[in-house]
Amino acid sequence: MCGINGIFAFHPSAAAPSRDEAVRIRDAMQARGPDGFGLWSNASGRCVLAHRRLSFLDLSERAAQPMLSTDGKLAVTYNGEIYNFPALREELEAQGVVFRTTSDTEALMHLYARDGQAMVRKLRGMFTFGIWDETRQGLFLARDPYGIKPLYIANDGWTLRFASQVRALLAGGAVSRDPEGAGVVGFHLWGSVPEPFTLYRDIRALPAGHTQWIDRAGPRAPQPYIHLASILADGARAPLPAAQIAPEVRDAVKDSVAAHLLADVEVGVFLSAGVDSGAMLGLMRDAGCSNATAITLSFAEFRGTSEDEAPLAALVAQKYGAKHIVRTVGEAEFRADLPAILAAMDQPSMDGVNTWFVAKAAREAGLKAAISGLGGDELLAGYASFRDMPRWRRRFGALAAVPGLGALARGVMNAALPGFVRANPKALGMLEYAGSWEGAYLLRRGLFLPHELPALMDRDFVAEGMRRLRPLTQLSGTLSPDPHSNNGRVCVLESEHYMRNQLLRDADWAGMAHSLEIRTPLVDIALLRRLAPAIAALKPGMGKAALAAAPSIALPAQIVSRAKTGFGVPTRAWMAAAARTNREDLAETKGLTSRRWSRKVLETFVPPAGTAQAGSPAL
Amino acid sequence: MLALVPDAFGGRGGIAQYNRYFLTAASTAPGIEQVEILPRHAPDAFTLPPGLRQVAPGEGRIGYILQALSMALSGKIGVIFCGHINLVPLAALAARLSRSKLVVQTHGIEAWGNPGKPYRRALESADLVLCVSRYTRAQVLSWAAIDPERVVVVPNTVGPMFTPGDASDLRTQWGLTGKRVLLTVARMDARERYKGHERVIASLPSLPGDVVYVVLGEGDDRARLEAFARDTEVADRVLFKGGVGRDVLIESYRMADLYVMPSTGEGFGIAFLEAMASGTPALGLAVGGATDALCDGALGIAATEEDFHAALARQLVAGKSDPLALSAAVAARFGSETFTACTRSVLKRLLQG
């Protein structure tokens, strides 16, 4: 994992890029790549690429970036890991390609030289990269299918800039901070800024699973090269028989974990007392990683209670022969770290604090890379949304389809029982949103509902932000083509929205702040392809049970049964306390805490003009 | 391509000139077989380059609308070019009815604010929005929900007639021998007071006595500016020369020591290019689209409003350095070859997409 950036003055009227600006952007990402740095520009000086390196494969200087092809016609700056690199290398060498390094970076160049832009279809992994093509005088950008790695683009009409972080682009000094209403409103709606928007109008994310070509005629529209919905739709055409699900999950996840261990450095694991991370550790052992370092967070508040994950995690670690490190975190440390947490947050997030501390602990343990069980709930129907959303649609879908009924009911209830409406903002939303999958998902994951937003920000700003954001349209777009199963639909919505915009982004900034690469074997396109027929056929609990049984030594029964009740984390209470004023020292619901925290986080970013969020929140 | 424009050939002003350049370049683009132009106005005589056909406008607004729709539906139109945001609802309708691609051109201040729902929705339906400057592009993106890749900058260009040269005859004729000459070329329109004439006039008392300010252009605000010069007691140092023909305009640019236009409302500022192509340094404000013409200070001087007076004084001391080099640099970035290549590449992109 690294930090990449570049500047391409594509328009003939534009001045050549400033190398100083490129360096400012690059060095704003120092934590992403403390092992090395580089800067390169093409012969005409119209394109500058830069790189901050955190090295995992071929630690030598010959693998430094930006890397040039032997003939000097290609240059690449790349962030990520290509897990099928050994197979790709073998394939290329069989065709006569001679490698100078043992890094996956070089493979990207050879693949591009052979396959052109179609090369992305060959890649398994997490990645973003930019390849300068001197022959075609153009820049090729790409991002992995799930969007594990971030890539942001700022195009002012003359010059295109890209970087791994929004804040880095701003640090260059040439990108406007004009607010993007869709980003601000979207953050209030979801608790994270929904891609492709950011808080800033001139900065957008390259969508996951897309490539983009830029040449003298300017940036082309990003082109998708993969659709999660299509993969799930294909899988649903031939659902796996129930008896075959567990073996298929075992084989597929084992393969993914083994692939994700590719590195020339030690790869550890985040270990909670849940099924996902425990299975990761068990499968790491099966893949030959017999003494992995496992990091568990423990909270002082929970010590000695059933909420403490450390004892069960220790049981798992012992079962798989791991070197177990329990790192205890308390509220005092949270408060001490809070300024650094907010400073590291690339875009506002209502979460990520847990990831911050577990990444911190991993780095303290000397790790540069760690496996995470992130993605298991999305892949294997672990969330309540897989059960709730179809149920909501069955119960309320017909009523919600009546035009205006939901708004009318809300109006009546507002007048008759305003306290109930305030305390249960989503309950009435059933009559407005449960008629569609995207509406149900908004109910499931929305931090606020659209009608609540004018109480937080200027009404016109909200209206304009919603018009640009079009949240329901955006959600429904990801469901095209239809995945042909309820599990598939929820899997796509959770993977392409909550997981991408919240979990993976948090993993990136919180991990990178500690120069730690977080690897996610359960967020893997090859895995999804294999399990798509199983996902369509999963019954409640079946997926996680299969995962728990996937290691050759199955997870202890306590883990499987305990996972059903879940664990609490005190960070939510700490966040609430940090966000509250003294006079509000009252117990509050989880939803209210999230809302209050999200607003505190947003206030630490430059308050975009036209919004009222710098003032006292209307919570 | 059917071009619905306020004016082009036979028209006056910067937008007409831009349209002439654009449509001429478009007529050479691969995939564009013929360019048919329907202007709202064409008061002057004109000669059309090959590949272009301009139709006489219909009577009144209704006549223009009917004629535009009739032309859109009568033949095989692949692209509708809309030369001004005021025409975009009509152009969008014509594009929809004829199943053509829609290209909308935006210029300056008229596109900087939300023009209202019918205009906004029509523009959002465009396949390509062309902007004369980065600033105009940013403003369009602030109110239009449209993919940023569809909003492309095609900057103004400068004609090949604007080159450095000896203009001592004009100096003699206008009694400016031995003087240092500031020049502004702009309409003096009461609705366009952002051009900044007053700011230059107000600076004159603190500049050396041999500095003279020549103002070219006409407009209903001229009398007020003349009165302002008198009130500032520099009337003898401000020459209002009115509208001039092209030859005198070219000579004027060559003659000036500094082209100065501290405008706060330029969509681009073609006069900056013409002055610099004529070898004369240019000074403007780093506001709006002027920063593009001045190339962020790489070609001309883009001062802040606070620093404007000091920048003016500094540039008068610096004088003209290398007119030929400045002219060549302008041609490289904004010359007709660059403009034509830019136009052809965006149209190629449109037709391929």
- The mean pLDDT values, 10 residues at a time, for chain A of 619 residues are 93 95 96 90 97 77 87 96 96 96 94 97 97 98 98 98 97 94 93 96 98 95 97 96 96 97 92 96 95 93 85 96 95 92 92 93 96 97 95 88 82 79 77 91 92 87 95 95 96 98 96 95 98 95 96 93 62 72 50 70 63 34
User: CATH topology of B2-157+335-352 equal to that of B168-333?
Assistant: yes
SS3 B84: coil
SS3 A327: strand
A517-519 β-sheet, strand order: A323-329, A293-299, A267-270, A369-371, A517-519
- All structural domains of chain A: 3-226 (3.60.20.10), 229-381+485-552 (3.40.50.620)
A157 reaches B (C-beta below 8 A): yes
Identify the pLDDT of residue A573: 76
Q: Nearest CA to CA, how far is B80 from chain A (Å)?
A: 20
For residue A66, say if its preceding peptide bond is cis, omega within 30 degrees of 0.
Answer: yes
CB contact under 8 A, B152 and A218: yes
Identify the pLDDT of residue A37: 92
| DSSP calls for B243-258 | ---HHHHHHHHHH-SE
Residues near A486 by beta carbon (within 8 Å), at least 6 away in sequence: A386, A389, A390
Q: Where are the domains of chain B?
A: 2-157+335-352, 168-333
Q: How far apart are CA A498 and CA A496, in angstroms?
A: 7
Residue B104 in tokens:
């909308």
| CA distances from residue A456 to A460, A467, A594 in whole angstroms, order as listed | 12, 17, 15
> The pTM is what?
0.93
CB contact under 8 A, A467 and B142: no
Q: How many residues are listed for chain B in this entry? A: 353
Count Cβ–Cβ pairs < 8 Å, chain A vs chain B: 67
Contact criterion met (CB below 8 Å) for A175 and A17: no
Contact criterion met (CB below 8 Å) for B298 and B279: no
Identify the pLDDT of residue A588: 55
Interface probe with A: pick from B152, B334, B343, B344, most Cβ of A within 10 Å: B152
Q: How many residues are listed for chain A in this entry? A: 619
| Residue B102 main-chain phi, psi, to 5 deg | -115, 125
Residue A168 in tokens:
């880095």
Identify the pLDDT of residue A29: 95
B149 reaches A (C-beta below 8 A): yes
SS3 A615: coil
Helix-helix angle A181-190:A459-469, to 10 degrees: 90
Identify the pLDDT of residue A613: 41
A426 reaches B (C-beta below 8 A): no
| DSSP calls for A10-75 | -STTSPPPPHHHHHHHHHTTGGG-BTEEEEEE-TTSSEEEEEEE---S--SGGG-SSEE-TTSSEE
Question: Helix, strand, coil % (nearest 5) of chain B?
Answer: 45, 15, 35
Q: How many CB atoms lie within 10 A of CB A467?
A: 13
On the CB side of B133, how many CA atoms lie within 13 Å of its CA?
A: 25
Q: How far apart are CA A53 and CA A3, in angstroms?
A: 7
CATH class for the domain made up of B168-333: alpha beta
| DSSP calls for A290-310 | TT-EEEEEEEGGGTTSTT--H
> Which H or E run includes B213?
strand B211-216
Contact criterion met (CB below 8 Å) for A332 and A489: no
Residues of B (281-300) whose Cβ lies below 8 Å from A: 292, 295-296, 298
Q: Diameter of chain A by CA atoms?
A: 77
Identify the pLDDT of residue A165: 97
On the CB side of A602, how many CA atoms lie within 13 Å of its CA?
A: 34
Least Cα distance to A513 among A341, A265, A336 occurs for: A341
Point out which residues pair with A79 in neighbouring strands: A128
A180 reaches B (C-beta below 8 A): no
Q: How many CB atoms lie within 10 A of CB A306?
A: 12
Q: What angle do CA A458, A459, A462 make, to 5 degrees?
A: 90
| CA distances from residue A318 to A121, A294, A311, A567 in whole angstroms, order as listed | 40, 10, 11, 21
Residues near B67 by beta carbon (within 8 Å), at least 6 away in sequence: B38, B55, B57, B58
Residues near B207 by beta carbon (within 8 Å), at least 6 away in sequence: B312, B313, B316
* Alpha helices for A75-212 (secondary structure H): 85-94, 104-115, 166-171, 181-190
Point out which residues pair with B151 in neighbouring strands: B129
| DSSP calls for A459-507 | HHHHHHHHHHH-HHHHHHHHT-S--SSHHHHHHHHIIIIIIIIIIIHHH
A467 reaches B (C-beta below 8 A): yes
Backbone dihedral region of A217: left (phi > 0), alpha (psi from -120 to 50 degrees) or beta? alpha
Residues of A (218-237) whose Cβ lies below 8 Å from B: 218-222
* Alpha helices for B77-154 (secondary structure H): 88-98, 117-124, 134-143
Which residue is associated with the tokens 């900057």? B155
Which stretches of chain B drop beneath a pLDDT of 50?
Answer: none
Interface probe with A: pick from B149, B268, B330, most Cβ of A within 10 Å: B149
Least Cα distance to A510 among A429, A585, A571 occurs for: A571
Contact criterion met (CB below 8 Å) for B272 and B284: yes
Contact criterion met (CB below 8 Å) for B218 and B240: no
How would you class B351 by CB atoms within 10 Å of its CB: exposed for 0-12, middle for 13-18, buried for 19 or more?
middle
Of A201, A202, A217, the CB nearest to B345: A217
On the CB side of A149, how many CA atoms lie within 13 Å of its CA?
A: 30
Contact criterion met (CB below 8 Å) for A174 and A181: no
Identify the pLDDT of residue A581: 54
Q: How far apart are CA B282 and CA B182, in angstroms?
A: 10
Searching chain B, which residue's CA lies closest to the CA of residue A179? B142
Contact criterion met (CB below 8 Å) for A178 and A200: yes
| CA distances from residue A292 to A3, A280, B39 in whole angstroms, order as listed | 27, 11, 75
Residues near B226 by beta carbon (within 8 Å), at least 6 away in sequence: B235, B238, B240
Question: In CATH terms, is domain B2-157+335-352 a member of 3.40.50.2000?
Answer: yes
Least Cα distance to A554 among A250, A242, A244, A289 occurs for: A250
CB contact under 8 A, B349 and A201: no
CB contact under 8 A, B155 and A15: no
Identify the pLDDT of residue A60: 72
Q: How far apart are CA A152 and CA A199, in angstroms?
A: 12
Residue A619 in tokens:
């919570």
| CA distances from residue B138 to A170, A618, B100 in whole angstroms, order as listed | 16, 32, 26
Of B138, B153, B349, the CB nearest to A11: B153
Contact criterion met (CB below 8 Å) for A203 and A44: no
Q: How many CB atoms lie within 10 A of CB B32?
A: 22
Quick check: ipTM above 0.95?
no
| Residue B288 main-chain phi, psi, to 5 deg | 60, -150
Q: How many CB atoms lie within 10 A of CB A251?
A: 13
Q: What angle do CA B213, B219, B223 make, to 5 degrees?
A: 65
Least Cα distance to B15 among B33, B41, B36 occurs for: B41
CA B241, chain centre distance (Å):
21
Kindly list the residues from chain B whose CB atom is less than 8 angstroms away from the CB atom of residue A204.
148
Q: How far apart are CA B314 and CA B261, in angstroms?
A: 16
